[in-house]
Structure 1
Amino acid sequence: MDSENYKGTNKLITGIVFGVITFWLFAQAMVNIVPTVQKDLGVDLGVLNISISLTSLFSGLFIVVAGGLADRIGRKKMTYTGLILSVIGSLFLVLAQGAPLLIIGRVLQGLSAAAIMPATIALMKAYFEGPERQRALSYWSIGSWGGSGLTSFFGGTIATYMGWKWIFILSIVFALLAMWLIREVPESKAKTTGKFTFDFGGLGIFIVTMVAINVLITQGSNFGWTSPISLTLALVSILGVIVFVKYEGKRHSALIDFKLFKNKQYTGATISNFLLNAVAGTLIVANTYVQVGRGFSSFQSGMLSIGYLVAVLGMIRVGEKLMQKTGEKKPMVWGSGITLIGVAMMGLTFIPGVLYTVIVFVGFILFGLGLGMYATPSTDTAVTAAPDDKVGEASGIYKMASSLGNAFGIAISATVYSTITAISTVDVAATAGIVTNVIFAAISLISVIVLIPGKDKNKAEQLKEQTA
């Protein structure tokens, strides 16, 4: 069947969700099994932590590249490429006896995620329309936003009762099932003219800049914030951003097409997405604090945040239905606001005993409710606002915002927490770390209010565009 006559099916949705879940199986589950992997493989803890971070680093660095390539060479082909890389990367981890295969496998898994995420969003836009696309994107969000919590919970269970390598055997199974389920889907490409030239220069500047920013945030306190190394990294970061923007503005086949940000809806969805993903730093600070400051075990702290997982999964379809009734803006505003309140509650570390535990439990639930309500309207806004010939690239930028927001949010929150711990009490440090995330949520809320149009205004703008 040709791509013009094909309509998306539940089989396609299931295949895409399975593909997205493979990312979380190897990304999130790995965080919870560090002691087990270290004991089994006998690798240094520092090497193990680096191998864990490599997946998110490589996915964040190459996701825009993969999204742009998906538009050119085919979105189904890029999805298959990602799934094959996922199988190979997971197989390397299953066969690993030490650091080399572990590191190579994690790099391949990062590249896999970069290929799968934007290509699958682009397939959703290509083969679903209206409410059906919103439903499809809800399930994509369940795989993406909900997959983080699901795989974290089940990954720990699998590692405890079956052995940690079974996580990656399951990842291979899900990837193969995804490939089988989407095998009959016709290829989808952007209609482009002219010869495609890859922007190697832009990619090089982007990688250097992002690595410099990441190292500065994560290692600045160790180097000393006014040390020559930190100041050099800060200078490289600032100059890198300026040079990258100027360089890309002159390129015909730019790595990032900044013209996409002329659309206020797309800009609002992408910025708020970056900031709400940065709020993930709350999970690190709150879970660390209740263990260090309140004497919780890792199991107890995990159970404290179980409401977050249930709420995210439960609210994603609700966010979709709200969007269909009220437009995208209201559930995005409500979601950002509820997230802000939930996170702020966790910062009330001066409250004693059981009452604080109850407040944190409720805070995690509100955190999940807010993110779940926000997820589908935000993704749909970004996809709808993107031109058909740029949907892969636009999806790549949107997902890069997720990855980098998550990475920077965790790094900044952890840095604030550890820096203040050295000069004050753990209670004050936890409050400061969580207040950082409240600020992220507040700026996210403001960006939605300012940049996302209301339902009536959005309809008027779409009618104007169609008339033009």
Structure 2
Amino acid sequence: MASSAPAGTRTGWKPTDKWLLGIVLAVINFWLFAQTLLNVIPGIQGELGVERTMANLAVSITSLFSGIFIVVAGGLADRLGRVKIMYAGIYLSILGSLLIALTPENLGGLTSAMLLGGRIVQGLSAACIMPSTMALVKAYYEGKDRQRALSFWSIGSWGGSGFCALFGGLMATSFLGWRSIFWISIILSVLALFLLKGTPESRAERDPATANQPFDWSGLIFFIVMLVAINVYISQGPNIGWLSWTGLALVAVFIVAGLVFLQIETRKRNAFVNLKLFGNGTFTGATLSNFLLNGAAGTLIVSLGLVQIAAGMSSLQSGLLTLGYLVAILATIRVGEKLLQRFGPKKPMLWGSMITGVGILMCSLTFLHIGEYIVLTVIGFTLFGVGLGFYATPSTDAALSNVPDAQVGAASGIYKMASSLGNAIGVAISAALYVAGQAVDPELIQSWGLFIGRQDNVALRFGGAIGLLFNVLMVVIAIASIILTVPSERKREEAARRPDEVAPPPIGN
């Protein structure tokens, strides 16, 4: 728990609306600007002169590094100071955006290095900003003021993620060009630093039992090796060959690093990831479904990329298809909160997942004429947003209200790590299947008689269908995990009577 009382009672400093605006600007640096590449990358891939698999890796690697380091950054924020880590995150955001904005065209390794380097730095930035800003909001507000501040924090994350495709498309097709996205990000980062100037430092109370124990660097190293190996294998599989020696070596590295990681984490007292939390079925189910539904972000890169290539849409036109997603997710987050209060977490989590699945399934119908497909994707993305809005708050409540109060911080870190890693791995697999599906013989696809209209792009549309249906599968598994693990409201009320279980306030994306 934070040692800092609300600032007005401890230092005389009180947060203002301008300060809260600075927090929101810091948060949207990832959710709005960094995530625009989901929609922009199909249009700039050729301009930069990078292969499609490299472009797909550039999209997913930001969420990957955010997910890997979010628990580390949260721990460092508690120890070293949340303001220090927040400032570090904003400076990293400026550096990452600068690297991408200055990425040269058609210079081979240098182009790839600057693009990937900038995306990695953006991921590290998000890992620093998200837990530190959340902790500062909780430390310097209380009561209804805290609920209001958390709502603005959530709007910065969910609203940014909903607006990123449309904003990215708008800027990329304007006279300013796609690089302006990252110059604007730098400007708003500088503004955030100005608005946040003078924030008093906040740290967490140290647990005497673990205060003098060193950080679990060995666990972190093997965790990084494990996830980077599998992400590179997934994203680069079409190029290096799924069963090539290089591909098999990456799989072997993933398996060995994963086994060593499990050995380390089950034996260490100060484990990087507290695996004991997964002994709680409700936490496991909520975290797994959160991982899978965030993985469904692969729907965006496949569907928007498909209409840009197959139908000749610009990034702005394709981004407009997601307008319903933006409106729906902002409109239904509070609805999900009300459903949680009325029915408990299980029903709205299931309803939200089912609605999301139907929306993605509608986006998977790539065998139709383009006009029909556009109508279905508009409806599908809107349902996607409605489903996530229903799911978000009940899922967070289910994950965190069933763990002891002393473990809420660790549980929050793992839950949010699942969000970022799910996004990274889901995007990587969806994009890889999209590319791999295009290698199927077009004559074989035509022989099935399913794809109507143009036949010169059936392989492209088939690859899109495979990539999108994978996202439907992830939602189905998420639904199964909720059914099997999250208790009904009656059982939840019984568990809530236990003295060691405390429900924290819901958090955002």
How does the TM-score come out when normalised to structure 2?
0.80
Runs of at least 5 residues in structure 2 that lack an aligned partner in the other structure = 9-13, 105-109, 446-457, 503-509
Name the CA shift for 1:4/1:91 in 2 (closer, same or farther; >3 Å).
Answer: same
Which residue of structure 1 aligns with residue 164 of structure 2? 151
1:456 paired with 2:461, answer no
Q: Contact 2:168–2:315 (CA<8 Å) still a contact in 1?
A: no
Distance 1:290 1:93 in 2: 25
Q: Contact 2:366–2:373 (CA<8 Å) still a contact in 1?
A: yes
Alignment of 1:252-267 (within 5 A): 252-267=269-284
Distance 1:296 1:2 in 2: 53
Name the CA shift for 1:170/1:129 in 2 (closer, same or farther; >3 Å).
Answer: same
Alignment of 1:57-136 (within 5 A): 57-91=64-98, 99=111, 104-124=117-137, 136=149
Give 1:21 shift: 0.2
Which residue of structure 1 aligns with residue 229 of structure 2? 212
Distance 2:277 2:143 in 1: 22
Structure with the bigger percentage of helix: 1
Give 1:384 shift: 4.2
Give the counterpart of 2:418 among 389, 396, 401.
Answer: 401
Give 1:113 shift: 0.8
Comparing 357-366 and 136-145, the one that deviates more: 136-145
Two-structure CA RMSD over aligned residues (Å): 3.4
Distance 2:501 2:464 in 1: 54
1:192 paired with 2:207, answer yes
Which residue of structure 2 aligns with residue 285 of structure 1? 302
Which residue of structure 1 aligns with residue 331 of structure 2? 314
Q: Contact 1:192–1:389 (CA<8 Å) still a contact in 2?
A: no
How does the TM-score come out when normalised to structure 1?
0.86
Q: Contact 1:346–1:363 (CA<8 Å) still a contact in 2?
A: yes
Name the CA shift for 1:106/1:31 in 2 (closer, same or farther; >3 Å).
Answer: same
Output the amino acid matched with 2:123.
G
Comparing 24-33 and 323-332, the one that deviates more: 24-33
Give the counterpart of 1:301 among 304, 318, 325.
Answer: 318
Runs of at least 5 residues in structure 1 that lack an aligned partner in the other structure = none
Give 1:441 shift: 0.5
Distance 1:182 1:333 in 2: 43
Give the counterpart of 1:27 among 27, 31, 34.
Answer: 34
Partner SS state of residue 423, structure 2 = helix
Partner SS state of residue 497, structure 2 = helix
Q: Deviations over 1:189-244 (max 9, x none)?
A: 14411303111211111111111111221122322222222222222222222221
Distance 1:15 1:385 in 2: 33
Which residue of structure 2 aligns with residue 447 of structure 1? 481
Q: Contact 1:75–1:392 (CA<8 Å) still a contact in 2?
A: no
Q: Contact 2:167–2:319 (CA<8 Å) still a contact in 1?
A: no
Which residue of structure 2 aligns with residue 45 of structure 1? 50
Give 1:164 shift: 4.4
Comparing 218-227 and 375-384, the one that deviates more: 375-384
Distance 1:413 1:101 in 2: 24
| Identity across matched positions, percent | 49
Comparing 265-274 and 438-447, the one that deviates more: 265-274
Give the counterpart of 1:142 among 155, 158, 180.
Answer: 155
Give 1:434 shift: 1.9
Q: Deviations over 1:33-85 (max 9, x none)?
A: 5588789xx85425777665553343232222112222333334322321232
Q: Contact 2:215–2:270 (CA<8 Å) still a contact in 1?
A: yes
Which residue of structure 1 aligns with residue 11 of structure 2? none
Output the amino acid matched with 1:396.
G
Comparing 174-183 and 70-79, the one that deviates more: 174-183
Name the CA shift for 1:272/1:138 in 2 (closer, same or farther; >3 Å).
Answer: farther
Which residue of structure 2 aligns with residue 438 of structure 1? 472
Partner SS state of residue 273, structure 1 = helix
Comparing 251-260 and 452-461, the one that deviates more: 452-461
Output the amino acid matched with 2:4.
S
Name the CA shift for 1:257/1:229 in 2 (closer, same or farther; >3 Å).
Answer: same
Q: Contact 1:137–1:376 (CA<8 Å) still a contact in 2?
A: no
Comparing 43-52 and 236-245, the one that deviates more: 43-52
